[in-house]
Structure 1
Amino acid sequence: MKNITLVLAVFSVVLSCGGPGSKNQSSELESEVEQTTITRKQFDSNNFLLGKLEERTFPNVVETSGIIDVPPKNKVVVSAITGGFVTKTPLLVGDQVKKGQILVTLENQEFVKMQQQYLEVFNQLDFLKSEYERNRTLFEEKIASEKKYLEAKSNYETHLARYHGLKKQLQMLNISPSRVEQHIITNEAAIYAPINGSITKINVATGSYVSSSDEILEIVDKDHIHLELTLFEKDILKVEKGQRILFQIPEASNETHLAEVYLVGASIHETQRTIKVHGHLEDENHRFLPGMFVDAKILTDSHEAFSIPDQAVLSSEGSSYLLKLVSENEENLVFEKIKVMPGNSFEGFTEIQSTTNLSPGDKFLVKGVFDLFGN
């Protein structure tokens, strides 16, 4: 497809430097000027395209990384109030649950004892209350002694406190005190979902024993997924609320997604010298999962620069080049390989930072470069 003529021009440039501390340095530069000739027929049949440098607005970016995360209130680790044996685990990882839905059912004979104690105290309260009120009346009428009145009062209030304590424990176990008062006693206690969300972890199986310190399962509500980015100290003053964020999930795809800086942390990590940046997603119809790693660019401000389509930039052995049109006739087009220094790439265009040997009227091959030189 191509006919390449190599023209070798070797020259040296010596830059003198001043005294110590001067920014000028001595260097010697050797360059090869490589010319490529393409026939007009090849150019037309392969849909090659010419273009010029265009002045374009490029954002200044702060590159960072982080993860997809959810607020603490949207992630719940479910544990048991009291230990027990698992009798029912109807859910699997990935299942959606609603707030108030049964997650796990536990069995323990201690549940039965607690209900018996509650019922005994409940049945004694009416008698103890009447005794307390009777002794109080007799004491006020100076018929009964103060000792009997105080004993009745103490006995009633002690049982009343125990009643409220046992009632609260039953409620925490999701056992209905009113059913116990009707002499309906159970040896099982259910654990209900505290939030809507998806099951992300299950650490138990039917028949296993769990204690109050064990993590039974985890629920994550993905309705408020956000970016949790880590910013280095040198970039902190460049970032503020409202700036746009472009991010990718490198392990999943090359697609770029949008977010916005919502919060910038108020303190720096003492040893890592970093700060957290909280970003809100613009796309509500996402499929992101908490814990996904992200590469992000925060767009801080902008500047004007000459640009060329990304596909016009040829990278080879750590250097970048453009194919500049140096001559053409009815039969051939001749291109010269010009070394350039590319800057940021944004929305399909690459910033060209070195334009010393280029002019606004120069034409470049902007489509077909990779067809000529391969990957």
Structure 2
Amino acid sequence: MKHLYIILFAMLFVGCGNDKHNEPTALETEEDHRDEITITQAQFESENMAFGNLAEFDFNEGIKVNGMIDVPPQNKSSISTFIGGYITKTPLLIGDEVKKGQLLVTLQNPEYVEIQQNYLEVAEQLNYLKSEFNRQKTLFEEQITSEKNYLKAESTYKSNLAHYNGLRKNLQMMNISPKRVEQGTISSRINLYAPIDGFVTKVNVSNGTYVSPSDIILEIVDTDHVHLELSVFEKDIMAVKKGQKIRFKIPEASDETFDAEVHLVGTTIDGASRRVQVHGHVDNEEDHFIVGMFVEAEIITESTKRIGLPKEAIINLEDGDYVLVFDAEDNHKIHLKKVKITTGKETEDILEILNSETLKDKQILVKGIGMLLSNSEGGHDH
């Protein structure tokens, strides 16, 4: 590459031929001004060249990490049943949006009928046992009956009350109204409803499937509060602090860079991977992220502002780095001067300019240099 640049600037700074009567080319130099380049106004416009100035840029130092898009535990819900049954209705598909309280699935099982019947029987007995307990209590207080009869009535009533409350709670967990059962309405089916707003991410059943209490029927994820779960190596974790900026990409889906912030830093190290989990909050949660997406991220541990230029404005030669600065314009020609620069820190697109005073208030060619060099190489062998 160095030989290429030597040839290039030999072309730029040497005259265009021995025939002085030839018309000037689009790119020409003068023998007695080897640091000057002249281009035509037509070439400047056709190759979309542009001038710019020195500017202040952010130069960040950070830690490269990997991770994934995730949501807090409270934004995930795995739907299961407290009592097994057969699926009779599954109206939802993966990707469907659901609202809290919306019907998800319907289950059927004869055991549901038995539980309701037991509850109804216990409820009816409870009224009698309560009356008997109160009667025995009054008789005992008036010393008409024995303490033994009073205690027996109390024990029987409280035991039945506990059984009643337990069955009542079972019905409530099954989404069956105890009041309706007491009115004589008994059903062999139960419904499961969405506990949160979100989207269906898993459907593990179909109509007719038997599910037990240990089975996950559906999974719902609320994506309103997505965050980053990043893994940081042990050697880097001491430099990570709450509040630091994070820049991340989703390489499989987009070239766009997104912003986040360190929210929590883990306090334990995984014994196998020797990594620590770091939790980051995404700045713009309205961006469409999908839970589980792989991310490549950089945690910014230090950020400084420095004077620099885009890398496309820099020309690399064997004896150093240069830029082209506007010198004068006449007769539809633009005269540029080659100026040597000293560079410092760099980012993906920007180079720090250490001798910025040399270029202060100067117009610098920042676009089109690549096209200019390419055109100049065109008719030459290397």
TM-score under structure 1 normalisation? 0.77
Unmatched tracts of structure 2, length 5 or more = 13-26, 29-38, 376-382
Q: 1:18-61: per-residue Cα shift (whole Å, max 9, x none)?
A: xxxxxxxxxxxxxxx97553443484232334667766441222
Q: Give the aligned partner of residue 299 of structure 1.
A: 300
Q: Deviations over 1:202-221 (max 9, x none)?
A: 11111111110000001111
SS in 1 for 2:95: coil
In the alignment, which residue of structure 2 is the partner of 1:366? 366
The answer for the alignment partner of 1:25 in structure 2 is none
Say if 1:312 and 1:322, in contact at 8 Å, map to a contact too. Answer: no
| Equivalence for 2:346 | 343
Distance 1:200 1:350 in 2: 42
Conserved? CA contact 1:34–1:336, under 8 Å: no
Moved more, 87-96 or 133-142: 133-142
Give the Cα–Cα distance (whole angstroms) in 1 for the partners of residues 126 and 145 of structure 2. Answer: 22
**What secondary structure does 1:119 align onto?**
helix
2:262 is aligned with 1:261: yes
CA distance in 2, matches of 1:173, 1:309: 65
What is the identity, as a one-letter code, of the residue corresponding to 1:344? T
Alpha-carbon contact 2:343-2:351 (below 8 Å) kept: no
Higher helix share: 2
- The structure-2 alpha-carbon separation of the partners of 1:313 and 1:6, relative to structure 1 and needing over 3 Å to count, comes to closer
Equivalent position of 2:20 in the other structure: none
Structure 1 equivalent of residue 205 of structure 2: 204
Q: List aligned pairs for 1:1-375, cutoff 5 A.
A: 7=6, 35=10, 37=12, 38-39=27-28, 40-41=39-40, 43-44=43-44, 45-49=46-50, 56-303=57-304, 305=306, 307-312=308-313, 343-345=346-348, 349-351=349-351, 360=358, 366-371=366-371, 372-373=373-374
Greater Cα shift, 47-56 or 283-292: 47-56
CA RMSD of aligned residues (A): 3.6
Cα displacement (A) at 1:334: 9.9
After alignment, is 38-47 or 151-160 more displaced? 38-47
**Where does the alignment leave 5 or more consecutive residues of structure 1 unmatched?**
9-32, 316-320
2:24 corresponds to: none
The one-letter amino acid paired with 2:135 is R
Q: 1:279 to 1:149 in 2, by over 3 A?
A: same
- Higher deviation after alignment, 273-282 or 249-258: 273-282
How far is 1:226 from its partner? 1.4
Percent of residue pairs bearing the same amino acid type: 48
1:135 aligned partner, one-letter code: Q
C-alpha distance in 2 between matches for 1:370 and 1:147:
105
Aligned partner letter, 2:247: L
Distance 1:6 1:373 in 2: 11
Normalised to the residue count of structure 2, the TM-score between the two structures is 0.76
Greater CA deviation, 83-92 or 328-337? 328-337
Closer/same/farther in 2, CA of residues 117 and 314 from structure 1, 3 Å limit: farther
Q: After superposing the two structures, state which structure 1 stretch, 261-270 or 169-178, moved more.
A: 261-270
Q: Please report how far the alpha carbon of residue 338 of structure 1 lies from its aligned counterpart in structure 2 after TM superposition.
A: 11
Question: For 1:287-306, what per-residue CA distance to the aligned partner results, in whole angstroms no more than 9, with x for missing partners?
Answer: 11111111222222234556
Q: Could you tell me how far apart the structure 2 residues matched to 1:120 and 1:280 are?
A: 54
